[in-house]
Amino acid sequence: MQADTLLRLLGIHVREARRTKGWSQEELAARCRRHFTYIGRIERGQQNVSLVVLNEIARALGATTGELLTFERPALLDEWQVTANDIIEAVGHGFRAKVDVKGKLAEWMLHKELARLQRLGLIRNLDWLDRDNAPDFIVEVGGKPISIQCKNVRSLTPRENPDGRIRVELQKTRNSKDGSNSRAYGNDQFDVLSACLFNRTGSWEFLHIAVNRLETRPDNQRLLEIMQTVPRAPEPPWRGALLDAIKDRS
């Protein structure tokens, strides 16, 4: 790839990341202690950039230098004939879209943690599923398959105070294909629940719990309660480490 093409693509990445933040060139320039005309030249692909400056810009944008220097265009953008910023703008203008995307982002963040555990040899055979009536992930631990369900905790409602309980809702998105009301989760449909706290903490962190430690319905012990209370920090039976929650299954 020629130098002018590299600079042009870098400029596109910087511009899209800046716009995602809702910043002007002046705001980005102030955050990385550069003049706004210098930022403008970078975004137009007219300015060569040292690694030191690139690192300053990346830190200001909350990105990594690697992200700014990844020049392969995602296939989805070509399939839809849009830019990454187009998708961000569209999602930002739809409440339901934001909820759906945050749900998939939680899965992605958990997938990255599972991939890390796989690289360490602590889990094997990582499968990320995307099917109705199936868990989000299946991994192998100690020669046994372990199914994991990933859920975002609920956002704070207008009627709750900032210290209100954190809860996660355990209902499936859809009923069965035959139309019957089967949104409830049984206590045998997954092994571990991983609750993402982003909606309450602003951080993609998880607490994990073995399914046999979750609350069940008083009238049917085989069905899980829809609303489960989640602590703000690891507190038994909620674990900060996934492998600890897996051990709790026994």
Q: What CATH code is carried by the domain that includes residue 238? A: 3.40.1350
- Number of folded domains in the chain? 2
- 29 and 115 fall within a common domain: no
User: Which of the listed residues 92, 113, 146 is the one where a domain comes to its end?
Assistant: 92
Q: Do 111 and 234 belong to one domain?
A: yes
Quote the pLDDT of residue 97: 94
Would you state the pLDDT for residue 173? Answer: 65
- Structure confidence at residue 70 (pLDDT): 77
> What's residue 181's pLDDT?
46
pLDDT for the residue numbered 85: 75
HEC states along the chain? CCHHHHHHHHHHHHHHHHHHHCCCHHHHHHHCCCCHHHHHHHHCCCCCCCHHHHHHHHHHHCCCHHHHCCCCCCHHHHHHCCCHHHHHHHHHCCHHHHHHHHHHHHHHHHHHHHHHHHHCCCCEEEEECCCCCCCCEEEEECCEEEEEEEEEECCCCCCCCCCCCEEEECECCCCCCCCCCCCECECCCCCEEEEECHHHHCCCCEEEEEHHHCCEECCEEEEECCEEEECCCCECCEECCHHHHHHCCC
The whole-number pLDDT of residue 86 equals: 84
Where among 92, 120, 140 does a domain terminate?
92
Query: What confidence score (pLDDT) does residue 200 get?
Result: 92
Is residue 112 domain-shared with residue 63, that is, in the same domain?
Answer: no
137 and 212 share one domain:
yes
One domain, residues 154 and 236: yes
Tell whether 141 and 81 lie within a shared domain: no
Same domain, 154 and 177: yes
Q: What is the pLDDT of residue 179?
A: 47
The answer on 210 and 127 residing in a single domain is yes
127 & 87 share domain: no
Q: What is the CATH number of the domain that holds 68?
A: 1.10.260.40
Intervals of the chain under pLDDT 50: 178-181
Same-domain check for residues 106 and 83:
no
Residues 195, 167: one domain?
A: yes
Q: What is the pLDDT of residues 166-186, one digit of tens each?
A: 999 998 765 555 444 467 899
Domain check: are 63 and 76 in the same one? yes
Parent domain of 30: 3-92
pLDDT at 227: 93
Q: Quick one: pLDDT at residue 174? A: 57
At residue 20, the pLDDT reads: 79
> According to the model, what pLDDT value does residue 104 have?
95
Q: Of 92, 108, 135, at which residue does a domain stop?
A: 92
